[in-house]
Amino acid sequence: MTVVEPIKNLKDIRKVEKILAKQNKRNLLLFTIGTNCGLRISDIVALNVDDVKNKIYIQITEKKTGKFKKFPINSKLKPMFEEYTKNLSFEKPLFETKFKNRLDRFAAYHIIKNACKTAGLREKVGTHTMRKTFGYHHYKKFKDIAILQKIFNHSNPATTLRYIGIEQDEIDESYNNFIL
């Protein structure tokens, strides 16, 4: 099993977004949900239009844990949802293939992997990269591991820090800044 990494550089995130925007709105929205909500790919591809259209919150039952999750739709996603869903009926999957099937996690993996490769990213990437990117930047902005632990449903803070790649960053920084 390959461990994937977060995208730590904001310029790299913007490069990936630009590449996905040139492809289509679906691919950009897929990535933006992942990096702004921290959902697992199984929960992202399970979304229906009704879950986001004209809504203030996203409310789901997580596929992996079976736990209920409710969180507000942020100001970056709100206009994207409005534009993307304006001509879609409520009962449709949010993400469909060109054959009108629900997009699956394997297709999502290829979309994300190819966009990151095109952007020249060196990180090991996959669909979990989006969730880890959310976590990494959330922690960097708020420095609140307890809330991030709750968002991710992790059992302890150490797991969350390790998951988002902060643990090693902090160890490296400590070594680099400790000189006798």
Q: What is the DSSP letter of 66?
A: -
Tokens of 156: 């302890």
Annotated catalytic, 163? yes
Q: Point out the catalytic residue in the list 40, 132, 137, 138.
A: 40
Determine whether 102 is an active site residue.
Answer: no
14 is catalytic: no
DSSP state of 7: -
Q: Give residues with Cβ within 8 angstroms of 126, minimum separation 6.
A: 2, 4, 109, 112, 113
- Whether 110 sits among the annotated catalytic residues: the reply is no
Nearest to 73 by CA among 111, 47, 46, 112: 47
Tokens found for residue 112? 């994300």
> One of 53, 69, 102, 154 is an active-site residue; which one?
154
What tokens were used for 25? 């709105």
3-state secondary structure 98-111: CCCCECCHHHHHHH
Catalytic-labelled residue, pool 15, 131, 132, 138: 131
From the list 15, 128, 132, 138, the catalytic residue is 128
Which of these is catalytic: 11, 64, 122, 141? Answer: 64
Active site residue 131: yes
Distance in angstroms (rounded) separating the CA atoms of residues 106 and 10: 25
Catalytic annotation, pick one of 84, 136, 139, 163? 163
Q: Which residues are catalytic?
A: 40, 64, 128, 131, 154, 163
